[in-house]
Structure formats: structure tokens, C-alpha cells
Amino acid sequence: MNHPAPPTQPSTAPTTGEASFLKQPRAVWAVAFACVIAFMGIGLVDPILKEIAAKLQATPSQVSLLFTSYMEFMGVAMLVSGVVSSRIGPKRTLL
């Protein structure tokens, strides 16, 4: 039995290309905020590497290696958590 298709509603999206940059979904703003905080964390550690070296009695190259190792580990962890999140969902990944 064939049913007639429901009438279509006209689109309310602007067609002139005047979409506002600020009218983004909340998820976009949450990701942008998380990125800013992550980059701030990186930028806050970099200037104090000399002080970290002094406290740990390490050479500047050892502290740089420590910082680089941390960043590489975080990069791999982000890739793995992204795959896991895609497979089981973001809420279950966080739990």
C-alpha cells in the first residue's frame, strides 16, 4: 500500500551564504574550549623547563626529552581513545 509522501517544509537555513561563525552547536564550542585549554597546558610548561631541570637536578636536554616523551605519549593516547570512542561511544569511553 503506497502512502503519499508528507509535504516538505521550506528550509530555514540562510541561502545567501550569511551563516554566522558564532552560531555553532554546543559540541563545536566544547571541542574548541578543550583545544584551547590543552594548548594552554603545553604553553605553560614550556617556559618553566629550566626550573624543572634545576629541581630534578637534570640537564636541560633530559628535561626536554621528558617533555617530548610526555607529548608523544599523549598523542598516542589521543589516537587510541579516539578509536575506542568511535567503537563504543564517547560516554562509555569516559566512564
Write the pLDDT tens digit of every residue in 15-58.
555 677 788 888 888 888 888 887 777 777 777 878 888 898 99
Residue type, 52: I
Q: Which three cell numbers mark 18? A: 550569511
Give the domain range for residue 46: 26-94
Q: Is residue 16 part of a domain?
A: no
Q: Is residue 84 part of a domain?
A: yes
Q: Is residue 18 part of a domain?
A: no
Q: Is residue 13 part of a domain?
A: no
Average pLDDT over residues 54-69: 87
Q: How many domains does the chain have?
A: 1
Q: Is residue 64 part of a domain?
A: yes
The pLDDT value recorded for residue 57 is 92
Q: Residues 6 or more apart from 74 whose CB is under 8 A from it? A: none
Query: Using 50, 70 and 90 to split pLDDT, how confident is the model at 14?
Result: low
Q: Which residue in this structure is represented by grid cell 589521543?
A: 78
Q: Is residue 86 part of a domain?
A: yes
Q: Which three cell numbers mark 87? A: 567503537
Can you give the pTM of this predicted structure?
0.51
68 neighbors 76 (Cβ within 8 angstroms): no
